[in-house]
A and B are shown apart, each in its own frame.
Chain A
Amino acid sequence: MERNTMSYKARQFLMFAGPALILFCMVIIIPFVYGLYLTFTSWDGVSASKPFVGIANYVSAFKDYYFWSAIGRTLIYSAFAVIFVNIVAFVLAYLVTSGVKGQNFFRAGFFIPNLIGGIVLGYVWKFVFNRAFVALGEAITAGTVPSLLSTTGGAMFCLILVSVWQYAGYMMLIYVAGFMSVPDSLKEAAMIDGCTPSQAMRNVTIPLMRSSFVTCLFLSITRCFMVYDVNLSLTKGEPFNSSVMAAMHVYNKAFVYKDYGTGQAEALILFIVCAIIGITQVYVGKKGEVSA
């Protein structure tokens, strides 16, 4: 039959998947492979020659103090942001599924920050921190108050606050879906058996929402770990480079300091971290599923 010939299969495959295959290869596969090659050269971004330097870029990436401190800073920032994003999102989801009037309005409202890009959000908050908070502080203390963004610890705090505000509404929607997937009859059965509402929440609802927690945790971890837009517009790494996150460091290394080889090697190290996070997610997601 014609259907089993190689040429039929190839025609079918290319007809349907051809465009996707071409774009996917052009944008992801080729740059990825070419990027691997670039890490073994000392290219300056302009000249045609790309001298081969072996593993020198990886050595300098491992020796790059600023890179590792940026990673450390990103880990601290991510830890705080992820914890608070999920706490706030869970509480919001609980409140907007409790059956009060206008809960759809509130759901839509808390989601608003996600509609707007990180660049714009960062500048909005820059205004809030630099002007509104300062004016508020000066009104209260009747003296001059420095902006939080101009202090080293403060800039990190601001970044965490903005990230929590930005992502809480999004994660809330996922938790809302989780809450709604738990049938009311199960909670009622637990209450009839003598559970208090908080016990029912802890022992019935939360275990059944496991997949929501896994989704939210990993979504917020990957988003926070690769933060760039808000970092750029809100703090730009200031003051004294105390808020440069990993993604921004890699960008600066390559495009500002024109050290493409090292920048690309550092980006690959970030990729490995992301891959580990991704594999853990698959592993954790499959393990320990609870069903009703």
Chain B
Amino acid sequence: MTANEKAARKKKINHAITIIVLIILFLLFIAPFILVVINVFKVKADINTNPLALIGAHGFTWQNFPEAMKKMDFWNVFKNSAIITTCATILTILVSAMASFVIVRNGKWKACSILFALMIASMVIPFQVLMVPLVSVYGGIFKILNSRLTLILMHTGFSVSMATFMFHGAINTNIPLELEEAALIDGCTRWQTFWKIVFPLLKPTIATVAIIDAMAFWNDYLLPSLVLGEKNLYTIPIATQAFYGTYSTDIGLVMAALLLAMLPILILYLFLQKYIVAGVTSGAVKG
């Protein structure tokens, strides 16, 4: 065997080892999900006797799903989560892109620099500092809790700083000033210039912000749990928490509820994983 062949063979073996290690790690990573999936099709007694068996002694059952769906009020909860996530994400994008435009192009105005500095500084404030005053101002004084609109506005308010920061960077580096000047000369107002020229060019950043914020809103628990106290307004995380509190002993139902809570985003991930992975990466690296 020549040296070249030897090197090629060593490379092949290394490759094979890497793939095997990756497969083992991958199986370990998704093992908890697999356990949920195999137990969701068992009756309660079978889960109690052996949670590791692929199929229980009483056989395969679908029964956990319809029951969990009914008890969790799944479609209503899903609808709430979807409305809140969609509206808050769109609102965040519109509001932050607009703000960042005026901040970048007029950095010398005092109002702009103060607002931007405040936004940057506010990013270190943990939610725990704001939750008590938030509840006492909007629950105690204005009494506007228990409304989807309030939650949407609060979600937007909390994410506006980060989103503005990201749009700020994008406008600064990617949008040539000449383009806007040309539009102004052609008779566009600043408002038109923004919506017709700048905003469409921000598409990659819009996608990043949309992905990061939508995931955060969809999965957030603490803020929605403080704002939404009524059962018919619950989002998926709150409903899961409430469901576990009531039915924790009925483990088959719990499995179904957990799977239902995970399914929407996993299905979405199947189709959009390329964009989600790219969006999360660029969001983290820039932020």
Chain A contact residues, CB within 8 Å of chain B: 9-10, 12-13, 15-17, 19-21, 23-24, 26-32, 34-35, 38, 43, 45, 92, 95-96, 98-102, 106-120, 123-125, 127-128, 131-132, 135-136, 139, 165, 169-170, 173-174, 176-177, 212, 215, 219, 226, 228-229, 232-233, 247, 250-251, 254-255, 260, 263-264, 267-268, 270-271, 274-275, 277-278
Contacts and interface: CB of A to CB of B under 8 A. Distances in A.
B182 interface: no
Given A108-B273, A118-B219, A23 B124 contact: no
A21 B98 CA distance: 11
Q: Which 7 A-B pairs have the closest CB atoms?
A: A27-B157, A117-B219, A20-B99, A16-B102, A278-B124, A31-B133, A23-B157
A27 B133 contact: no
A120 B258 contact: yes
B281 A21 contact: no
Nearest to A23: B157
B25 A23 contact: no
Contacts of A10: 111
A274 B251 contact: no
Given A29-B122, A115-B269, A268-B129, 7 more contacts: A12-B102, A17-B115, A34-B136, A100-B22, A111-B277, A123-B240, A260-B136
B29 A165 contact: yes
A31 to B, nearest CB: 4
B137 to A, nearest CB: 6
B26 A116 contact: no
Nearest to A9: B109
Interface stretch (B30-38, B63-71, B72-80, B200-208): B30-38
A253 to B, nearest CB: 9
Interface stretch (B1-9, B54-62, B172-180, B259-267): B259-267
Contacts of A17: 98-99, 102-103, 111-112, 115
Contact of B128 (A113, A232, A233, A250): A250
B280 A116 contact: no
A44 B255 CA distance: 39
Nearest to B260: A120
Sorting the interface of chain B by its residue count into under 10, 10 to 19, 20 to 34 or 35 or more gives: 35 or more
A260 B134 CA distance: 12
Contact of A229 (B96, B134, B222): B222
Given A20-B96, A95-B21, A173-B281, A28 B30 contact: no
Nearest to B139: A45
Interface of B: 15, 18-19, 21-22, 25-26, 29-33, 35-36, 39, 47, 50-52, 94-96, 98-99, 101-103, 106, 109, 111-112, 115, 118-119, 122-134, 136-137, 153-154, 156-158, 160-161, 164, 190-191, 194, 215, 218-222, 236-237, 240-241, 244, 251, 254-255, 258, 261-262, 265-266, 269, 273, 276-277, 280-281, 284-285
Nearest to B190: A12
Nearest to A271: B129
Nearest to B281: A173
Contacts of B29: 109-110, 112-113, 165, 169
Given A27-B130, A110-B26, A128-B35, A38 B136 contact: yes
B128 A112 contact: no
Contact of A176 (B164, B261, B281): B281
A51 to B, nearest CB: 15
A23 B161 CA distance: 10
A13 B109 contact: yes
Given A16-B102, A34-B136, A119-B241, A177 B285 contact: yes
Nearest to B222: A228
Given A31-B133, A106-B22, A263-B132, A215 B285 contact: yes
Contacts of B194: 16
B18 A100 contact: yes
Given A115-B266, A124-B36, A174-B284, A264 B157 contact: no
Nearest to B127: A226
B124 A31 contact: no
A268 B125 CA distance: 9
Contacts of A45: 136
A38 B132 contact: yes
Contacts of A226: 126-128
A73 to B, nearest CB: 16
Contact of B35 (A19, A43, A92, A132): A132
Contacts of A176: 281
A201 B43 CA distance: 52
Given A98-B18, A117-B219, A247-B128, A19 B95 contact: yes
